Amino acid sequence: MNKQLTLTQSRVLLKQEKSNQPILIVIAIIAALVFSFFYLKISLVDMIVGLPNFILFFFQKFLPASTENLAAYIPSVIDTLGYAVVATYLSSILAFILGILISEHTNKFKAIRLFVRGFISILRNIPFIIWGALLVYIFGIGGIVGVLALLLVTIGFLGKSYAESIDEIAGDKLEALKANGSSYFQILVHGIIPQFIPAWINWTLFAFEINVRASVVLGLVGAGGIGVLIDTNINLFKYGEALTIIAVVVCIILLTEFATNSIRKRIL
Amino acid sequence: MESIRVHSKGSGIKLFGLILILAVIFITAVSLINLDFQKFFERLENVPDVLGRMMAIDVSVIPAGLLAIVTTLALSFLTLVVAVIISLLLSFLAASNITPNRLLADFIKGFFAITRSVPDLVWGLMVIASLGFGYTSGFITMLISAVGYLTKTFAGSIEEAGTDIIEAMRSTGASWFNIIFHGLIPLCITYFFSWITVRFEANVAESIGLGIIGVGGIGLLLTKAIGSYNYPQTTTILIMICLFMLILEFTMTKLKNRVKFGNR
């Protein structure tokens, strides 16, 4: 009682409590920073000069872009986009099945749920370029390997997203369907899938964007596509040509984003 | 008896058309990229052999792996801190509700939209071509993509805060810096923090990926193991990467929730 009185009499506190937590956090961050700095034995001068040096190098060596062989890049561009399209199609189907297996509402068996969830999180947690390198290691160089690597990565991403969307749908409606005696597949086809379609379109378009980006990069490990051209041209010191290819890549990626966004606007 | 329409008129034709278009796209894509299935199936015979050899673990690589993980973490953290500082400055210039100059805001946004659409590893190749192998190249590469990402997301969070607070503060005579430090940063800091945690994970993934083109850390260790056909080491490092990323994801989610909801 006494304590409350003094509280109301005293001035209004702007801060709830005086704590030294912010100071501790700042000290911890600085300590981690200092540790990283000395552990890597990186030189401060190099770090500061690095970016200007790179920009200077860029303007001196990469510019001007040479556009002589522009027509020769077209097959690689088609390959890159083709891998992304095929991988998106296949993965959206496979990931839908996995999504159904992960969601609590569509799969009652906990053991299977956990198993599929674990499998997908392994797929997601290893960076895609590592998957690419690994698959090239197992299968050798080639286009199919590129598609496979894209598939693995996209399944990991889409499986999780689909499962979350299915989880959001479930509820009263499914219960109502269950109550009037619908079978499992009737619930799936008439209860879940119609409501799932907008989320499905959205995630799949997103996956396509990711696939296009990944497909460009997978060329670096020998899985086909336009990445190979960037790598070889830089290794041959043909920087002007490399810059043109990179510009082509930027165009592809920006156009894809534009296309998926306009599809989203029209449909959703 | 009159039947009631379940589907709207013409929806059947529309659906059919859509499926047709999707099928045509798929078939053209498959035919354009001419996948060599024959060669693929020939190689498929080697796969059980390779996988069989990979079913082994080499414990001796674990200490080196752990040290490499620390390297990866240190590089990612160092880059993250620098990137956050730069992005904080840039995002207040780029957010349309607080920017001192419209043109400047549009320029910053456009510039980073372009840098973001160049894949990380392509930046990596370009930086390594100019600066050579080493941590500095890794630092610059990750800095470019992290600043691109954080500036965009930070500016988005600032714009979501709207103009009300800014107008209210401006009417009391607060300067640009006052508005930012006392109005916008306290408001947006939890959002900033979630973006930072997301980016830290992405930084770590990126620095592992950069190992493929020669930036140090666990990614480089894996690339070396793959390059020297050392099957047990490859498997061991892969498992380590996977566990490491899982722990990282778990920690970041915990941190994010703690800052967001304040439960300790």
Let me know whether A148 and A39 are in one domain: no
User: What is the per-residue pLDDT across B13-69, written as a single tens digit (0 to 9) for each?
Assistant: 888 888 888 888 888 888 777 777 777 777 777 778 778 877 877 788 888 889 889
Give the residue on B whose Cα is nearest the Cα of A127. Answer: B205
- Helices (H), strands (E): how many in chain B? 12, 0
**CATH code of the domain in which A140 resides:** 1.10.3720.10
**Chain A interface mutation, best of B7, B43, B126, B253, highest count of A Cβ atoms under 10 Å:** B126
Distance from CA of A3 to the nearest CA of B (A): 26
- Closest alpha carbon to B94 in B167, B20, B149: B149
User: What is the distance in angstroms between the Cα of B97 and the nearest Cα belonging to chain A?
Assistant: 24
Q: Is residue A163 part of a domain?
A: yes
Residue-range definition of the domain harbouring residue B80 = 53-261
Residues A75 and A54 in one domain: no
Burial (CB < 10 A; 0-12, 13-18, 19+), residue B224, is middle
Of B26, B71, B205, the CB nearest to A89: B26
Looking at the structure, tell me whether residues A55 and A79 fall in a common domain: no
In contact, B53 and A162? CB cutoff 8 Å: no
Instruction: Please check whether residue B147 lies inside any domain of the structure.
Output: yes
Type of residue at B219: G
Mark whether A57 and A83 lie in a shared domain.
no
Contact B157, B196 (CB under 8 A): no
Terminal Cα distance for chain A, rounded:
58
Assess whether pLDDT exceeds 60 at residue A180: yes
Give B-chain residues touching A81 at CB under 8 angstroms: 29
The string of pLDDT tens digits covering residues A64-81 is 777 777 777 788 888 888
Q: Which domain holds residue A235?
A: 70-267
What CA–CA distances, in Å, run from A43 to A38, A50, A54, A172, B64?
A: 9, 10, 16, 61, 23
Give tens-digit pLDDT for B231-250.
888 888 888 988 998 899 88
Please tell me the total count of domains within chain A. Answer: 2
Number of domains in chain B: 1
Q: Please tell me the distance from the alpha carbon of residue A151 to that of residue B33, in angstroms, as a whole number.
A: 16
pLDDT, tens only, B157-177 = 888 887 888 888 888 888 888
Q: Which of A236, A241, A210 is nearest to A76 (CA)?
A: A241
Q: How far apart are alpha carbons A163 and A157 in whole angstroms? A: 10
Task: Write the CATH number for B87.
Answer: 1.10.3720.10
Contact across the interface for B36 and A137, Cβ inside 8 Å: no
Contacts of B231 in chain A (CB under 8 A): none
Which residue of A54, A78, A250 is in closest CB contact with B140? A54
Question: Do the Cβ atoms of A130 and B242 come closer than 8 Å?
Answer: no
**Do A113 and A79 belong together in one domain?**
yes
Rounded to a whole number of angstroms, the distance from the CA of B162 to the nearest CA of chain A is: 24
d(CA B203, CA B210): 10
Q: Which residues of B touch A61 (CB under 8 A)?
A: 129-130
User: How confident is residue A10, by pLDDT bands cut at 50, 70 and 90?
Assistant: low
Residue B19 burial (CB < 10 Å; 0-12/13-18/19+)?
A: exposed
| A11: closest CA of chain B, how far (Å) | 21
pLDDT tens, A27-43?
888 888 888 888 887 77
In terms of Cβ atoms closer than 10 Å to its own Cβ (0-12, 13-18, 19+), residue B229 is: exposed
Work out the mean pLDDT of chain A and round it to a whole number: 81
Q: For A200-209, how does the pLDDT look when each residue is reduced to its tens digit (9 = 90+)? A: 888 889 999 9
Per-residue pLDDT tens digits for A87-141:
899 999 999 888 888 887 777 788 888 888 888 888 888 888 888 888 887 777 7
**Which distant-in-sequence residues (6+ apart) come within 8 Å of B27 by Cβ?**
none
In a domain, A6, yes or no: no
User: Is A55 in the same domain as A93?
Assistant: no
Residue B130: which of A46, A54, A140 has the nearest Cβ?
A54
- Taking only the tens place, the pLDDT of each residue in B123-158 is 888 888 888 888 888 888 999 999 999 999 998 888
Q: Are residues A118 and A17 in the same domain?
A: no
Nearest CA in chain A to B28: A82
User: What pLDDT is attached to residue B264?
Assistant: 45
User: Please, how many CA atoms are within 13 Å of residue B70, restricted to the half-sphere of its CB?
Assistant: 13
**Separation CA B244–CA B238 (nearest Å):** 10
Q: What predicted TM-score, i.e. pTM, was given to this entire model?
A: 0.82
Q: Which residues of B touch A128 (CB under 8 A)?
A: 209
User: Do A76 and A184 share a domain, yes or no?
Assistant: yes
For the cut 50, the answer to whether the pLDDT of residue A5 exceeds it is no
Q: How far is B63 from chain A (nearest CA, A)?
A: 16
* Contact between residue B258 and residue B264 where contact means Cβ atoms under 8 Å apart: yes
Domain membership flag for residue B38: no
User: Is ipTM over 0.85?
Assistant: no
Question: Are residues A143 and A115 part of one domain?
Answer: yes
**Which of A180, A164, A161 has the alpha carbon at shortest distance from A172?**
A180
Q: In 3D, which of B75, B104, B44, B46 has the Cα closest to residue B229?
A: B46
Q: Is the pLDDT of residue A14 over 60?
A: no
- Best of B14, B35, B141, B201 to substitute, by most chain A Cβ atoms within 10 angstroms, is B35
More confident residue, B139 or B259: B139
Give the residue-averaged pLDDT of A165-184: 79
Same domain, yes or no: A125 and A232 = yes
Alpha helices in chain A (DSSP H): 2-9, 21-40, 44-57, 74-102, 110-125, 128-139, 143-169, 172-179, 184-186, 193-218, 227-235, 239-267
Average pLDDT, chain B: 84
CB within 8 Å: A46 and B136? yes
